[in-house]
A and B are shown apart, each in its own frame.
Chain A
Amino acid sequence: MGKIIAVHSYKGGTGKTLLSVNLAADLAKHGKKVCLFDLDFRAPSLFALLKMENTTYWLNDYLNGNCTINKVLIDLSSRLQGNGNFFAALANPSTEAIRDMSAKDRKWEMRALGRLLSLRNTLLSDQKFDYLVFDTSPGLQYSSINAIVAADFVIVATTSDRSDVNGTRRMLQELYNLFEKKTGLVINKVLDPTSKSKKEEMYAKVKDIYEVPMLGLVPCFCEILRAEGNVIFVQDKPNHPFTKILDEMVSKIDANEVN
Chain B
Amino acid sequence: MTREEILSKKPLHVLEKIRENLERLNEKMEVMIELQKHDRKGFQPLPDTPLDVMTLLSMPDHLRKTAMTICRCGRATAEEVAQQTSRARAVESAYLNQLVIMGYLKKERKGRKAYFYADRDNQGGT
Using CB atoms and an 8 Å cutoff, list the residues of chain A in contact with chain B: 103-111, 113-114, 117-118, 142, 145-146, 149, 175, 178-180
The answer to whether B61 has its CB under 8 Å from any CB of chain A is yes
Tell which of A104, A105, A118, A149 touches B53, judged by Cβ atoms closer than 8 Å. A149
Number of interface residues of B (CB under 8 A): 23
Docked pose: A54 CA to B118 CA in angstroms: 37
Q: Are B52 and A113 in contact (CB under 8 A)?
A: yes
Using CB atoms and an 8 Å cutoff, list the residues of chain B in contact with chain A: 49-57, 61, 64-65, 68, 71-72, 74, 118, 120-121, 123-126
Docked pose: A142 CA to B53 CA in angstroms: 7
Q: Are A106 and B71 in contact (CB under 8 A)?
A: no
Given A110-B50, A111-B120, A178-B61, are A105 and B71 neighbors across the interface (CB < 8 Å)?
A: no
Given A113-B71, A117-B74, A179-B68, are A107 and B61 neighbors across the interface (CB < 8 Å)?
A: no
Q: Of all chain A residues, which has the CB nearest B57?
A: A178
Q: Are B123 and A107 in contact (CB under 8 A)?
A: yes
Q: Are A108 and B53 in contact (CB under 8 A)?
A: no
Residues from chain B with Cβ under 8 Å of A106 in the complex: 49-50, 52, 54-55, 125
Residues from chain A with Cβ under 8 Å of B61 in the complex: 178
Q: Are B126 and A109 in contact (CB under 8 A)?
A: no
Q: How far is the CB of B63 from chain A (nearest CB, A)?
A: 12
